[in-house]
């Protein structure tokens, strides 16, 4: 069963292609084409701007796609949410759309902007934000370089940020969070009702989530005497419980577990002190919970 999959073109593209590669599916992109080949003959890929993804998925031009929750809400279209994938351009986390105004301005909250101009790409969400607060504003669509518009071209902006560094560099201060967003896998509702396509999309989501779970984790395996097992287990954090198996010598056990990569620096010396032997740290490709 073949599916048509939308890959976000633009700021999320590199992070998305890297995620697919870690999941085991190489996507080959030609800079001159909006179509991409994959190692799976049942998946056809097309590069689409994240802002437009929900439209093409909802209309059925694509069976599924990756885009931001923000653009799904902004579009107002009916699509099936398959999975949340918490990653962004620079980090493994959510992004925020924030209301920001010039540092030197007197604005402190949304209610201070009555009759003012707000520049943003996220027009509908921004209008709803101010409408919910009973504030009449003029929301203008921004084609880019939004941070540069206050105070000459707009009184404030609603802009997406991961760290806030770009806003600070443009002498803007954050007043409020308008919306938190993260990447999602979305599906066309007719495709989701097709058992073959649904299985393919669900398997895709499973592998991508597994790659994300593995990214900042490593595996550990070690040997330990029966009498020292309790001390070793006291050192080990684990997803659930470590896997423990017997060796050919009944006095010895093998222990396998998964830990956060940044903890290995501390954990491995402590395991050695607890009399663990043959400690091996190894990278993980996927962790399926």
Residue among 153, 187, 160, 145 at smallest CA distance from 74: 160
Question: Does 154 score more than 60 pLDDT?
Answer: yes
Burial-class residue 115 by CB neighbours within 10 Å (0-12, 13-18, 19+): exposed
- Whether 180 and 94 have beta carbons less than 8 Å apart is answered as yes
pTM assigned to the model: 0.84
- Cα separation, 238 vs 256, whole angstroms: 10
Residue 238 has what pLDDT?
63
171-195 pLDDT, tens digit each = 999 999 999 999 999 999 999 999 9
Q: In which band, very low, low, confident or very high, does the pLDDT at 241 lie, cut at 50, 70 and 90?
A: confident
Question: Does 55 score more than 70 pLDDT?
Answer: yes
Residue 239 has what pLDDT?
59
List the alpha helices (DSSP H) in the chain. 13-23, 50-59, 69-75, 123-132, 165-169, 189-193, 195-214, 229-235, 264-273
- Cα separation, 137 vs 257, whole angstroms: 55
Question: Degrees (nearest 5) of the Cα angle 235, 285, 262?
Answer: 35
201-218 pLDDT, tens digit each = 999 999 999 999 898 899
- Give CA separation, 59 vs 15, 64, 122, 192, 195, in Å: 26, 11, 21, 13, 19
- Whether 273 and 234 have beta carbons less than 8 Å apart is answered as no
- Give CA separation, 241 vs 213, 229, 267, 288, in Å: 17, 13, 16, 15
Averaged pLDDT for residues 213-224? 92
DSSP-derived secondary structure letter, 233: H
73-123 pLDDT, tens digit each = 999 999 999 999 987 555 567 899 999 999 999 999 999 999 999 999 999
250-270 pLDDT, tens digit each = 899 999 999 999 999 999 999
Contacts of 220 (CB under 8 A, 6+ apart): 236, 255, 256, 257, 258, 259, 264, 267, 268, 271, 279, 280, 281, 282
32-52 pLDDT, tens digit each = 788 888 989 999 999 999 999
What's the chain's average pLDDT? 92
Q: Compute the radius of gyration of the chain from its Cα atoms.
A: 24
Residue 25 has what pLDDT?
93
Buried/exposed code over 147-161 (b: 16+ C-beta within 10 A; e: otherwise): bebbeeebbbbbbbb
| pLDDT > 90 in the chain, percent | 81
């Amino acid at each position: 069963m073949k599916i048509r999959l939308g890959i976000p073109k633009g700021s999320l593209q590199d992070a998305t292609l890297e995620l697919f590669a870690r999941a085991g599916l190489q996507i080959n992109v030609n800079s001159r084409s909006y179509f991409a080949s994959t190692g799976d003959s049942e998946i056809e890929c097309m590069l689409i701007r994240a802002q437009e993804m929900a439209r093409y998925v909802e209309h059925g031009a694509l069976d599924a796609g990756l885009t931001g929750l923000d653009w799904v809400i902004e579009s107002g279209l009916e699509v099936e949410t398959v999975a949340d994938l918490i990653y962004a351009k620079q980090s493994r986390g959510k992004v925020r759309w924030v209301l920001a105004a010039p540092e030197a301005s007197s604005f402190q909250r949304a209610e201070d902007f009555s009759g003012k101009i707000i520049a943003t790409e996220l027009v509908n969400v921004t209008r709803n934000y101010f409408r919910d607060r009973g504030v009449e504003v003029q929301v203008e669509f921004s084609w880019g370089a939004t941070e540069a518009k206050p105070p000459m071209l707009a009184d404030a902006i609603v802009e997406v940020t991961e760290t806030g560094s770009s806003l600070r560099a443009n002498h803007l201060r954050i007043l409020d969070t308008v919306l938190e967003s993260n990447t999602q896998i979305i599906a066309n509702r007719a495709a989701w009702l097709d058992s073959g396509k649904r299985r393919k999309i669900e398997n895709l989501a499973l592998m991508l989530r597994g790659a994300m779970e593995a990214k900042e984790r490593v595996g550990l395996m070690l040997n330990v005497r029966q009498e020292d097992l309790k001390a070793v287990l006291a050192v080990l954090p684990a997803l659930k419980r470590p896997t423990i198996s017997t060796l050919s010598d009944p006095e010895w056990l093998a222990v396998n577990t998964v830990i956060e990569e940044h903890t290995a620096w501390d954990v491995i010396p402590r395991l050695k002190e607890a009399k663990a032997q043959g400690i091996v740290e190894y990278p993980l490709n996927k962790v399926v919970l």
